Chain A
Amino acid sequence: MAIDAADTPRTPGPVTTRTIQVTVNGVTHSSTVQNRMLLVSYLRERLRLTGTHIGCDTAHCGACTVLVDGVPVKSCNLLAVQVDGRQVQTVEGLASGGKLHPIQEAFHEEHGLQCGYCTPGMMMTSVALLARNPNPTEDEIRRGISGNLCRCTGYVNIVKAVQHAAAKTQTSVPGGH
Chain B
Amino acid sequence: MYPPNFEYYAPKTVQEAIGLLDQHQGEAKVLAGGQSLIGMMKLRLAQPAALIDINRIPDLAYIREEDSSLVIGALTRTAELGRSDLVRARYPLLADAAGEIADPTVRNWGTVGGNVSHGDPGNDLPACMMALGAEFRVEGPKGARAVPARQFYQDSFVTVLQPNEVLTQVRIPQAVPGAGGAYSKMERKVGDFATAAVAVQLGLGKSGSIDLAGIGLTNVGPTAIFASAASEFLTGKTGTDADLRRAGDLAADASRPFPDNRGPVEFKKEMVRVWTRRTAARALARARGGK
**A residues engaging B (CB < 8 A)?**
9-10, 12-13, 15-16, 18, 34-36, 38, 41, 57-60, 62, 65, 68, 71-74, 76-79, 81-82, 84, 125, 143-144, 146-148
Interface contact B104-A144, CB-CB below 8 Å: yes
User: B187-206: which have CB < 8 Å to A?
Assistant: 190-191
Q: Which chain B positions have C-beta within 8 A of A77?
A: 34-35, 38-39, 42, 106, 109
Q: Nearest-CB distance from B120 to chain A (Å)?
A: 13
User: B88-104: which have CB < 8 Å to A?
Assistant: 102-104
Q: Residue of B at shortest CB range from A77?
A: B38
Partner among B8, B79, B105 whose Cβ is within 8 Å of the Cβ of A62: B105
Nearest 9 pairs between A and B by C-beta? A147-B105, A147-B103, A35-B8, A146-B190, A36-B5, A71-B108, A73-B109, A10-B47, A36-B3
Tell which of B48-56, B147-155, B251-259 binds the partner. Answer: B48-56
Partner among B2, B4, B53 whose Cβ is within 8 Å of the Cβ of A82: B53
Does more than half of chain B's interface fall in helix, strand or loop, or is it mixed? loop
Give 10 pairs: A residue, B residue, CB < 8 Å, sorted on A: A10-B4, A12-B5, A35-B7, A38-B42, A77-B42, A77-B109, A79-B31, A79-B34, A81-B10, A82-B55
Interface contact B191-A16, CB-CB below 8 Å: no
Q: Nearest-CB distance from B118 to chain A (Å)?
A: 14
Interface contact A147-B5, CB-CB below 8 Å: no
Bitwise interface map of B from 4 to 40 toward A, beta carbon under 8 Å scored 1, else 0: 1111101000000000000000000001001100110
Partner among B2, B8, B108 whose Cβ is within 8 Å of the Cβ of A16: B8
| B: number of interface residues (CB 8 Å) | 33
**B residues engaging A (CB < 8 A)?**
1-8, 10, 31, 34-35, 38-39, 41-44, 47, 49, 51, 53, 55, 79, 102-106, 108-109, 190-191
Q: Nearest-CB distance from B48 to chain A (Å)?
A: 10
Partner among B2, B49, B109 whose Cβ is within 8 Å of the Cβ of A78: B109
Q: Which chain A positions have C-beta within 8 A of B102?
A: 147
Assess A81 versus B53: contact at CB under 8 Å? Given A10-B47, A71-B108: yes
Interface contact A16-B104, CB-CB below 8 Å: no
Q: Residue of A at shortest CB range from B47?
A: A10
Bound CA–CA A114/B200 (angstroms): 44
Bound CA–CA A139/B53 (angstroms): 36
Interface contact A16-B190, CB-CB below 8 Å: no
Q: Which chain A positions have C-beta within 8 A of B47?
A: 10
Q: Which chain B positions have C-beta within 8 A of A59?
A: 35, 39, 106
Assess A57 versus B42: contact at CB under 8 Å? Given A10-B47, A78-B109: yes
Bound CA–CA A147/B99 (angstroms): 12
Q: Nearest-CB distance from B113 to chain A (Å)?
A: 16
Bound CA–CA A15/B4 (angstroms): 10
Q: Residue of B at shortest CB range from A76?
A: B42
Q: Nearest-CB distance from B38 to chain A (Å)?
A: 5
Q: Which chain B positions have C-beta within 8 A of A58?
A: 39, 43
Bound CA–CA A78/B7 (angstroms): 16
Interface contact A16-B38, CB-CB below 8 Å: no
